[in-house]
Chains A and B, each alone.
Chain A
């Protein structure tokens, strides 16, 4: 007997059921997979945009807002210069395609390497309840851009803000079918409290997460 069969049959024996799953058991799990009920949640009675901004700050991100995508380069320049960061970044191709010429920021549309200091991304969706950014992997949405650089700037169109994680899954299923290889949720900069329980920002991921909300 393979380990697989041994483990599965041990579980079935322990459950006190027949050797093979019955139609009733299959029907029970199929029904749950079809219904995908949303469990009890805390009250979500807030304005999603306000909640999102507030929770981003709560998770130690910083937040700015602009009216249109064309204002993003100037907002990035403002942030980088006020934080005394290099005016140089790598970005997802869609972001790199904006008109950066007047901004003073040199932006390259390529995946981040270990030495890049600033990474600019869009997001797939954003979650109001927890101030969370959601990323899907694809040929043009490099995972490393929001992970390796010390500073991560995320551009969040107001239309992608959903109330909670359940709505994010529902919308993702409808828009993309199968999940992509990687779905990453990021809520603020990287942190650790592993030495004497004291909070430190910037363990392995970015030290700074700056969110620019567009269209508010």
Chain B
């Protein structure tokens, strides 16, 4: 299959991580665009506002673990409740299944135009291309997704997909595609997108969304957005299809409330996202709005292999993006270098697991081992640990040289000792070198390690990020706390 993630020989772009990363580092425009990226600072402020964020993380991880421990039983409960309320539940084993099911639903409902709220799972399956191949018009409605759709690209971040684009890029794209006078300011560009997308919302036959969570108790989807496109997608078109992974099921409405507290803070530094839509079944008799058909597609596509394995914790992920916002490697090279749907630390773990270790050789090595991702992850996924395990697997399968094994052992030893670890990671950051053979990559980071500390959130001992320590520092002369 040729796609945006593979070349004409079917080779995954994620195979070429090192050369792609190098290209990105030399791309001054990506570097400039990435500088605007301040979600890490926003997160720190939001975290400092609650008195017990670390406890909220622990509780959130426990909720995700509860789902995963009895995953099939919760999924069956979700299916039973959703079906009782008139939702049609579909199961997709592979990416091809997703596309086939969506096309079947669309054809049966004579769909011509499809609007999409953000769905990362549909990026995995290249759904847009499949729908277009079946003769349908597809319009992405998340502003970032819309921009990259016009540009013919893939997302570079899971919550800020067009973060690598400058306003000039967007102005050129809109001028070319909308055939309107070229706009100068970000607000004019946003307004123009609103106007064009509004037309699409009102004329589309089908809305496709992801679902941040599935609620087993009620059989509901749970869709979070700031723009309101999730609400539009689930309200305006006559058919709604939500596509999500098997791991997204959550037992109760109380459980999802707790996850929301850490999700919004970790993603954008908000106490809550602007819009949450909880949808249970199609339009009911007498309702003024809502779809006539509601479908949920529950996707495996590699996920079930992680259950019961030493990678299971990765399935806790609630896709907040904090790990990439705090990753010095991601911050310097952007998301496209990772070559598949999920970039950053979580991408380095999921990509080899979902598309094969041999297709993502460098990804588990795309880390400085600074553990910032592990410190910020709202569901406490031990990301550096998982990356280390993947590297060990690569060595064991002869995919990487045996000499790396010793380095990995050293790292595991240091990681268990916070003082040494922190010293080590700081040294590693300064020297701009990571252990285990990927030093070549890190050497190429501009400005060396010292430059990172300027506006990035660097590690500090005690499981807090530098910004958190700074935010919580005792105030001078005020007696402190």
Chain A residues, Cβ within 8 Å of B39: 197
B217 at the interface (CB under 8 A from A): yes
Stretch of A31-39, A65-73, A78-86, A100-108 contacting B (4+ beta carbons < 8 Å): A31-39
B121 CB to closest chain A CB, in angstroms?
Answer: 14
Q: Which of chain A's residues 166-216 have a Cβ closer than 8 Å to chain B?
A: 166, 169, 178-198, 200, 202-206
Which of A2, A55, A179, A183 gathers the greatest number of chain B CB atoms within 10 Å?
A: A179
Contact A183 B228, beta carbon cutoff 8 Å: no
Chain A residues, Cβ within 8 Å of B37: 197
B374 at the interface (CB under 8 A from A): no
B203 CB to closest chain A CB, in angstroms?
Answer: 10
Question: Interface residues of B, CB < 8 Å — how many?
Answer: 105
Contact A26 B73, beta carbon cutoff 8 Å: yes
Distance, CA A58 to CA B143, complexed state (A):
23
Distance, CA A185 to CA B271, complexed state (A):
13
Partner pick for B226 among A10, A179, A190, CB 8 A cutoff? A190
B160 CB to closest chain A CB, in angstroms?
Answer: 6
Distance, CA A11 to CA B73, complexed state (A):
10
Chain B residues, Cβ within 8 Å of A41: 56, 258, 261
Partner pick for B63 among A21, A39, A114, A186, CB 8 A cutoff? A39
Instruction: Given the known inter-chain contacts A21-B73, A200-B186, please indicate yes or no for A191 contacting B289, CB distance below 8 A.
Output: no
B74 at the interface (CB under 8 A from A): yes
**Secondary structure call for the A interface:** loop
Partner pick for B228 among A8, A40, A114, A190, CB 8 A cutoff? A190
A158 CB to closest chain B CB, in angstroms?
Answer: 21
Distance, CA A200 to CA B63, complexed state (A):
34
A164 at the interface (CB under 8 A from B): yes
B305 at the interface (CB under 8 A from A): yes
Which of A11, A26, A183, A206 gathers the greatest number of chain B CB atoms within 10 Å?
A: A11
Distance, CA A43 to CA B92, complexed state (A):
42
Contact B71 A11, beta carbon cutoff 8 Å: yes
Contact A197 B163, beta carbon cutoff 8 Å: yes
Contact A15 B307, beta carbon cutoff 8 Å: yes
Chain B residues, Cβ within 8 Å of A29: 70, 73-74, 77, 216, 251
Question: Interface residues of A, CB < 8 Å — how many?
Answer: 74
Partner pick for B257 among A144, A165, A184, A190, CB 8 A cutoff? A165
Chain A residues, Cβ within 8 Å of B284: 137, 180-181
Residue of A nearest to B54 (CB): A40
Contact A132 B272, beta carbon cutoff 8 Å: yes
Contact A164 B257, beta carbon cutoff 8 Å: yes
Contact A33 B76, beta carbon cutoff 8 Å: no
Distance, CA A16 to CA B230, complexed state (A):
37
Contact B76 A195, beta carbon cutoff 8 Å: no
Chain A residues, Cβ within 8 Å of B93: 3, 6-7
Partner pick for A196 among B33, B69, B220, CB 8 A cutoff? B33
A102 CB to closest chain B CB, in angstroms?
Answer: 29
Partner pick for A32 among B66, B75, B166, B307, CB 8 A cutoff? B66
The 8 A CB mask of B213-247 against A (1 = contact, 0 = none) is: 00011101000001111011011100000000010
Contact A181 B290, beta carbon cutoff 8 Å: yes
Partner pick for B252 among A14, A36, A129, CB 8 A cutoff? A36
B480 at the interface (CB under 8 A from A): no
B26 at the interface (CB under 8 A from A): no
Chain A residues, Cβ within 8 Å of B55: 40
Residue of A nearest to B259 (CB): A39
Partner pick for A204 among B76, B189, B229, B277, CB 8 A cutoff? B229
Residue of A nearest to B171 (CB): A195
Q: A147-B228, A147-B232, A191-B274 are in contact. List 15 more A-B contacts (CB 8 A).
A: A3-B92, A11-B72, A14-B308, A21-B73, A41-B258, A139-B288, A169-B253, A178-B280, A182-B235, A185-B276, A190-B274, A195-B167, A197-B160, A204-B227, A204-B228
Q: Which residues of B contact A (CB under 8 A)?
A: 33, 36-39, 50-52, 55-56, 58-60, 62-63, 66, 69-77, 85, 91-93, 97, 141-144, 147, 160-163, 165-167, 170, 186-187, 189-191, 193-194, 197-198, 201-202, 216-218, 220, 226-229, 231-232, 234-236, 246, 251-255, 257-258, 260-261, 268, 270-284, 286-290, 298, 300, 304-305, 307-309
Q: Which residues of A contact B (CB under 8 A)?
A: 2-4, 6-8, 10-12, 14-16, 21, 25-26, 28-29, 32-33, 36-43, 55, 58-59, 111, 114, 129-130, 132, 137-140, 142-144, 147, 164-166, 169, 178-198, 200, 202-206
- Closest 10 A/B residue pairs (Cβ): A205-B228, A203-B227, A139-B286, A39-B258, A194-B144, A14-B307, A165-B257, A42-B50, A197-B36, A40-B59
